[in-house]
Amino acid sequence: MRTLKFLLRKEFLQIFRDHTMLRLMIIVPVVQLLVLSNAATFEVRQARTYVVDLDNSSASRGLVQRLVASGRFDVSARSSSMALANEALLSRDVSVILNVPADFERDLVRARQAPVQLVFNAEDGAGAAVLQSYAARIISGYAAELGQLRPTFTTLEGATAAPAVVAAPRIDLRTRGWYNPELRYYDYMVPGILVLLVTIVATSIAAMNVVREKEIGTLEQLNVTPVTKSQLIASKLLPFWIIALVDLTIGLGVAKLVFDIPMRGSLLLVFLAAVLYLLAALGIGLWISTVAETQQQAMFISFAINMVYLLMSGLFTPIQSMPTWAQWIAELSPVKHFIVIMRAVLVRGASIEAVQVPLIALAAYGAIVLTMAARQYSKTVG
């Protein structure tokens, strides 16, 4: 224990002396959290819309007005030429074209149904799909509104409509979005990005720290002293374990104060999960340091590993949408389990029983990865 004390003192002296690295480990993650949380969103803001209204009737104007009133669409140009509209779409001046054909109102009244055309720039994929679902909801709402107003139409057109059937089957459909009823992206992304930042500190920076001593030669010097392998490993990993936890604490503070993340569950549970997760993450960092000879290699290997882990973790894209084989790979990633726990506890207020499966998985990963990495370390280094 005394030896470990001296080794730890040395590590902390070195860490606190290197102001650049310290800044990179403490301040930069906070800045990243602030910026990236805003960037990582599929939320659809106002879409610039090109309106080609060939009917120019009260019904078509009403439709455009409803779209604009929703706040999701914004008429930025109109003409009666589809060719011009297409050109605007190609040069990204608009992202949606609404084309109301001639006779829209007449068809609505006579045939009780009429088509409109919506053209989306699907270059942004996800955004277009969300926008489409908004448009569909607004349009069907407008149609229902028109249906109730039908008497007005009949008088307007002078035609008589069949009386409404009293016993039409109706489903009173209500929808509820639990846990995040206002659909706030921050609630979803901030816990995930926090995981990302903590992971980088625990794997890349820890691995590079060990490899640096290898490169300089001081590691060999330590290996001929009575310092045992486990003391050495502990002295290398503990500081980053602590720094990552400090990062997490600061990050949670920012999440609460700046982004107003709900934090419905127990923070203690979050830290318990973090403590276990970081063991696995540091184990991966330690393993990288046994494979890499130079800091450059360490960085590339950790980048390659982190990339696969993070992309497969459900941080940015839903895991349930992945093919089954990919979901199995995701299952093998400790990052996935930690993100699941973070979101479940912070956003849904899950209890320890609800997250016991991923929690046990994390503990198992931590134990296995760290043991294997430590064994590999003892075998290859020195």
Partner 1 sequence: MNALRGFILKEAHHILRDRQTLTILLLLPLAQVLLFGFALRTDVQNVRVAVVDAAPDYATRELRGRFDGTTVFEVVTTVPTSAALPPLFERGAIDQALVFGPRFAERLANGDAAELLVVTDATDPNTGSAMQAYATGVVQEYERELSLGRATGTRILPQVRMRFNPTLESVNLFIPGLIALVLTLVSALMSAISLSREKERGTLEVLLVSPLRPWQIIVGKVLPYLVLGVINVVTVLLAAWLVFDVPFRGSTALLFAECLLFIVTSLALGVLVAAVTSSQRTAMVGSLIALLLPTTLLSGMIFPIASMPAWLQPVSNIVPGKWFILIARGIMLKGVGLEHLWRETLVLAAITTLVLVIAVRRFDIRLESS
Partner 2 sequence: MNRPENVSGPAPPRELRLAQIQPAIEVRSLTRRFDDFTAVDAISFDVQAGEVFGFLGANGAGKTTAIRMLIGLLAPTSGEARVAGHDVRMEADRIRRRIGYMSQRFSLYEDLTARENIRLYAGIYGLSDAAIRERTETLLNRLRLDSHGDTLVRSLPLGWRQKLAFSVAMVHEPEIVFLDEPTGGVDPITRRQFWEMIYEAAQNGTTILVTTHYMDEAEYCDRVSIMVEGRIAALGTPAELKAEFGASTIEDVFVQLARPTAEIAAGMAAGSAGTPTSRTMPSG
By CB under 8 A, what part of segment 8-37 binds partner 2?
9-10, 13-14, 17-18
Site string for partner 2, 189-228 (x = CB under 8 A): ---------------------------xxx-xxxxxxxxx
From the list 4-12, 35-43, 173-181, 360-368, the region that binds partner 2 by CB under 8 A is 4-12
Contact call for residue 380 and partner 2 (CB under 8 A):
no
Closest CA to 214 of 300, 292, 285, 303: 292
2 binds, among partner 2, partner 1, none (CB under 5 to 8 A by kind): partner 2
From the list 117-125, 229-237, 241-249, 280-288, the region that binds partner 1 by CB under 8 A is 117-125
Binding residues among 54-93 for partner 1 as defined by CB under 8 A = 63, 89-92
158 binds, among partner 2, partner 1, none (CB under 5 to 8 A by kind): none
217 binds, among partner 2, partner 1, none (CB under 5 to 8 A by kind): partner 2
Buried b / exposed e across 130-158, counting CB within 10 Å, b at 16+?
A: bbeebbeebbeebeeebeeebeebeeeee
Taking the C-alpha atoms of residue 174 and residue 215, their distance in angstroms, rounded to an integer, is: 63
Closest CA to 273 of 186, 356, 367, 189: 356
Binding residues among 146-165 for partner 1 as defined by CB under 8 A = 146-148, 150, 162, 164-165
Task: Give 137 or 375: the residue with its C-beta nearer to partner 1.
Answer: 137
Task: Give 13 or 304: the residue with its C-beta nearer to partner 2.
Answer: 13
State the CB neighbour count (10 A cutoff) for residue 60.
22
Contact call for residue 132 and partner 2 (CB under 8 A):
no
Contact 311, 339 (CB under 8 A): no
Taking the C-alpha atoms of residue 287 and residue 308, their distance in angstroms, rounded to an integer, is: 16
- CA terminus-to-terminus distance, the chain: 22
From the list 4-12, 69-77, 266-274, 318-326, the region that binds partner 1 by CB under 8 A is 318-326
Contact call for residue 128 and partner 1 (CB under 8 A):
yes
Out of 13, 159, 268, 304, point to the residue binding partner 1 (CB under 8 A).
304
Dihedral, 253, 257, 261, 262 alpha carbons, nearest 10: 100
Contact 340, 354 (CB under 8 A): no
Binding residues among 73-102 for partner 2 as defined by CB under 8 A = none
Task: Give 355 or 374: the residue with its C-beta nearer to partner 1.
Answer: 355
Shortest Å distance, C-beta 7 to partner 2: 7
Closest CA to 275 of 134, 370, 183: 370
Task: Give 30 or 227: the residue with its C-beta nearer to partner 1.
Answer: 30
Closest CA to 12 of 211, 263, 236, 226: 236
Task: Give 218 or 351: the residue with its C-beta nearer to partner 1.
Answer: 351
350 binds, among partner 1, partner 2, none (CB under 5 to 8 A by kind): partner 1
Both tokens of residue 234? 């502990």
Contact call for residue 212 and partner 1 (CB under 8 A):
yes
Out of 65, 81, 133, 152, point to the residue binding partner 1 (CB under 8 A).
133
Contact 281, 203 (CB under 8 A): yes
Q: Which amino acid is at 125?
A: G
Contact 80, 34 (CB under 8 A): no
Contact call for residue 126 and partner 1 (CB under 8 A):
yes
Contact call for residue 119 and partner 1 (CB under 8 A):
yes
Closest CA to 142 of 113, 168, 119: 113
CA angle 295, 297, 302 (to 5 degrees): 95
Contact 335, 361 (CB under 8 A): no
Please name the residues in contact with 120: beta carbons below 8 A apart, sequence gap of 6 or more. Answer: 95, 96, 128, 131, 132
H/E run at residue 48: strand 47-53
137 binds, among partner 2, partner 1, none (CB under 5 to 8 A by kind): partner 1
Task: Give 47 or 211: the residue with its C-beta nearer to partner 2.
Answer: 211
Contact call for residue 178 and partner 1 (CB under 8 A):
yes
Q: Give the footprint of partner 2 on this chain (CB under 8 A).
A: 2-3, 5-7, 9-10, 13-14, 17-18, 216-218, 220-228, 382
